[in-house]
Structure 1
Amino acid sequence: AAQYDCFFQHLRLLDGALKLSAKDLRSQVVREACITVAHLSTVLGNKFDHGAEAIVPTLFNLVPNSAKVMATSGCAAIRFIIRHTHVPRLIPVITSNCTSKSVAVRRRCFEFLDLLLQEWQTHSLERHISVLAETIKKGIHDADSEARIEARKCYWGFHSHFSREAEHLYHTLESSYQKALQSHLKNSDSIVSLPQSDRSSSSSQESLNRPLSAKRSPTGSTTSRASTVSTKSVSTTGSLQRSRSDIDVNAA
């Protein structure tokens, strides 16, 4: 269907329906909506830009949900979008949630930002250097210890793209925060030393696994649905699966 010019025009008509399904009170409906969004992002890549921009704010509302199925489905869908749909307009959406009042949202947002800095090419980030730097600085000072850890990961990811701006940010920090950054670099597998071509294939987050074994081009993947579905059948933390075994259909 994606080979037809009119497909993407008509796909936009589904934005409202997808957002409505992601807001549903039934966990199974929300899960299926997230699976659909993740699949569209995986198959269409950057051509899913309009749909991703429309649905991501709704997915962020699922992150602090007390229903685990809804929260994990929303987080997994966001990860798929970050991996496969590299649209600069998504950056302000993510960074704005890094200052949320919800601790859970802030933790996840810095995790998403770290993934974004690993997966995306530098040219996709250039328009938002100042926003990224300011967001990371706030994260390093966050009241939550886990959010600070994720923010320190983000700093070194940011450093691998924009070393000069990262150094400037480093020198604006108090000595205690500078030491924490250096300590994090020594105690973790840093990607700073990797060349640009290898950066997108590196991931320091153990909770995420690549849904596709084949390499993607910067414009996105065109993997067939059959291949994607078979890959999703593998049980991973970061993947969405159309399995009913872990869903209570009576839960709302």
Structure 2
Amino acid sequence: MTKPIKYQGRPLRASEAVDELLEKWPIPDVTQDTRKFAGRSTAFGTPLADLYRKELEQSAEDLEPEEPELPSLTMAELERIRQDAYEEGLKQGHEQGYIDGFEKGVGEGKEAGYKEGIELGKTQGQEDVKPLIEEQLTSLKALLDSLSAPLAKVDDDAEKQLVQLTVMLTEALVYQEIKTSPEIVLQSLKQCIDVLASEQQSVRIHLHPEDIELVKNSYGDAALTDNHWQLVPEPTLE
């Protein structure tokens, strides 16, 4: 086992030994000193200083980057380059303009086609549903005509039957016979029937709100007033 090297009475560490060696290591002279070639020459009499100087100059020239030689252009070649650049820019401008114009045209065409399609569909839908509307109007007119017809005249037999029915109902309610003359009951009932007939002239017709507008547009307010039709909206009807 080797004994540790002691430095100033204590063991010497490896890092300290390296530092000490570096401090004592002489740095070699690497400068280019041409004086050592002074007075010396080759066997052919060429001074060493001249040879060394030429070698240094050649090394310096080799290290300098060579600038690329730019080709010389004639006026015709410059004009051709300018014209080519102009035509290329013009071509690109045409292509971009075509693309922009095409996209804009497609957008406008879609919008115009959409509007035209809506109008055409609306017109076609109205034409298709027109026969159905006319058919419904015809059926509705027949129904309204039947409703607007006055009540059938009550003949004498019907009046007598109503008198008998009234008497029977009265007897059942008060448990006694009416002592009044039947002619008086007949007269009162006739007045009620006249009032009923007068009231029935004003017919209340329950229809869907959309059908009410259809009837008003078809007949007009004047016809509704003349026929004594009172149109009542009923949303639950279909």
TM-score range, shorter chain: under 0.3
Structure (1/2) with the larger strand percentage: 2
Q: Which has the higher contact order (CA 8 A, sep 6+)?
A: 1
